A = this chain, B = another copy of it.
């Protein structure tokens, strides 16, 4: 099934069930009003939502209305956890190669992951607000999952069973603030502002056999200012599966229902696939020509991130954002 959260001026919005083709939606009122509620009590509530989803797909839901992604908050407008991996080691290799740094051997067995802010997620069509273009505004097109409870010490296989929903993320990054924060070693605070998510979160069965081994074997499209800059394969080159990422996170603590885990920038060895973040394009330019050529995003720039299923239909709806100056 496909779930979204509609804006209603409240902090958590209103849960809606969305039809498979993303054409219609129906309030889940009577079953649950907020997505976190459903994640807290998945086994009881999700079958009821699934029933409504099937009725909606059959065109028989009584109060269905046209689905509008612009009315969406993030599926979870705020979450108790956002932990973002950097599971595509090719991305790490490129960025390091551009600054003549080695990739430590451990990076191939021990995932890179940072704990991010989760109190203020952006909806799929919300503006990216920044005070200064000089911060180096960049998009990062990613796949993300939402978990149930996963106990401390769970194996990657157990962790995989804890995945409830899939979605897309735009992990907006302020590149020029990153070097100083990396040097401090404590992770990202100012260089990772609010993250945006796709209009709908979907249960893994919606991806069919494209969801296998804890990876989404589909093409992630990134379109910057109307130009398709990335057609990256999100599956085969993901060094660490989502099961491995979650197991990494829960080695020393429980992961609780509603945790959001990201893949990191999707990246392919074959550069002809393009890029899922500008930093990677700049790294390639540096490797090839000694210096980056492509500038980061400017106020007014747009970014669209989408994945189509094997049927050619949009799986999650599109993230479509514009960069604007803080007032």
Q: Are A187 and B186 in contact (CB-based, < 8 A)?
A: yes
Chain A to chain B contacts (Cβ below 8 Å), 21 pairs: A11-B40, A11-B256, A80-B80, A81-B118, A104-B183, A112-B184, A112-B186, A117-B253, A119-B254, A119-B258, A120-B253, A120-B255, A129-B152, A130-B252, A131-B152, A174-B252, A177-B252, A186-B187, A187-B187, A190-B248, A190-B252
When C-beta atoms are compared, the residue in chain B nearest to A11 turns out to be: B40
Instruction: Say how far A129's CB is from chain B's closest CB, in angstroms.
Output: 7
Which of A189, A191, A193, A258 has the largest number of chain B CB atoms within 10 A?
A: A189
Q: A11: which B residues are within 8 A, CB to CB? A: 40, 256-257
Q: Are A249 and B189 in contact (CB-based, < 8 A)?
A: yes
Q: Are B254 and A186 in contact (CB-based, < 8 A)?
A: no
Q: A186: which B residues are within 8 A, CB to CB? A: 86, 112-114, 187-188
Other-chain contact of A190, B80, B129, B251 (Cβ < 8 Å): B251
Which of A86, A116, A190, A193 has the largest number of chain B CB atoms within 10 A?
A: A190
**How many residues belonging to A are interface residues under a CB distance threshold of 8 Å?**
53
A216 close to chain B: CB less than 8 A: no
Task: Find residues 178-210 in chain A having any chain B CB closer than 8 Å to their own CB.
Answer: 180, 182-191, 193-194
User: With A190-B248, A190-B251, A248-B190 known to touch, is A80 a contact of B118 (CB < 8 Å)?
Assistant: yes
Instruction: Say how far A131's CB is from chain B's closest CB, in angstroms.
Output: 6
Q: A129: which B residues are within 8 A, CB to CB? A: 152
A307 close to chain B: CB less than 8 A: no
Q: Are A113 and B189 in contact (CB-based, < 8 A)?
A: yes
Cα distance A203–B235 in the bound complex, in angstroms = 50
A115 close to chain B: CB less than 8 A: yes
Cα distance A183–B105 in the bound complex, in angstroms = 13
User: With A80-B80, A184-B112 known to touch, is A119 a contact of B189 (CB < 8 Å)?
Assistant: no
